[in-house]
Amino acid sequence: MRRAPIRSSPRSGRDPDAGPRLVDRPCPPHRCGPGRGFAFLGTTYTAVRPGLSDRLARLKRGPQIVTGKDAAQIIFRAGIGPGASVAEAGSGSGALTLVLAHAVGPTGSVVSYDRRADFLRAARANAAAAGWAERIRFVERDVVVEGLDATELDAVVLDLPEPWQVVAAARAALAPGGYLVTYSPTYNQLERSVREMRSAGFGPVDAEEVLVRALHVGEGGTRPDFEMLGHTGFLAFGRRRG
């Protein structure tokens, strides 16, 4: 018996306006096909293929991850799509790694660097669980000291404590016109990264922060949520010139 992402039916007793609820339950192999319904402990479920957000929700975490709101902006701003060749420094738990692998598709490739073997083991396991391990090459390497061993890349993403120390190495690994992205939790890190990117000839270099606020939608009573997913990190973007 395998496990499959399944959604509960409104007849399970929940508020029908709340929509389906993603849960993880044992599902008989002959009944796990997408769209197939079955009952479990008195609740009716429908099996569905997991989306990217479902995979990230079930991610086995270790270090802090790059959240979906920031990962989506990285994909959009860096123009990462099917067939792209991308590298990231700072594998962590592999959340951004999976987003990159999803974006480049089966014809693209991702190189993920981390100097810690335990982080790489966790990221590899998450990539294997998603079924995208063949798109990703994990490398145990201190890029601050050794640089990147990939070349002619379309994009490089740095999620490191001191990303400015790798800007020159990232430039050497990028193809002309390739994108460099840094992810930094603090203003000081952002300032030093942007300064180094501009000095290294990237341009135009700009920075931004992504904020997400959920809405409670009800007839005649729609309002913003009292809580929001606010600051997680600052993003800086630049393109290699020449």
pTM, entire model: 0.80
128-186: pLDDT as tens digits: 988 889 999 999 999 999 999 999 999 999 999 999 999 999 999 999 999 999 999 99
Distances in Å between the Cα of 155 and the Cα atoms of 2, 128, 151, 177, 186 are 37, 23, 10, 9, 23
Up-side HSE of residue 115: CA atoms within 13 Å toward CB? 10
Q: Is the dihedral of CA 34, 39, 45, 49 positive or negative?
A: negative
Cross-strand partners of 111: 87, 137
Amino acid code (one letter) for 28: P
Burial per residue of 42-79, b for 16 or more beta-carbon CB atoms within 10 angstroms, e otherwise: ebebebbebebeebbeebeebbebbbbebbbbbbeebe
pLDDT band for 81, please (50, 70, 90 cuts). Answer: very high
Q: What is the reported pLDDT for 84?
A: 98
- Residue ranges of domains in the chain, CATH in brackets: 2-49 (no CATH), 56-239 (3.40.50.150)
Percent of the residues in the chain that have a pLDDT greater than 90, as a whole number? 64
Instruction: Please report, in angstroms and rounded to a whole number, the separation of the first and last CA atoms in the chain.
Output: 55
What CA–CA distance (Å, rounded) separates 240 from 74? 16
Q: What is the reported pLDDT for 6?
A: 47
52-64: pLDDT as tens digits: 776 776 777 666 7
Q: What is the reported pLDDT for 37?
A: 75
Amino acid code (one letter) for 233: G
| DSSP 8-state code for residue 232 | S
Provide the token pair at 167.
């800007």
* Mean pLDDT for the chain overall: 86
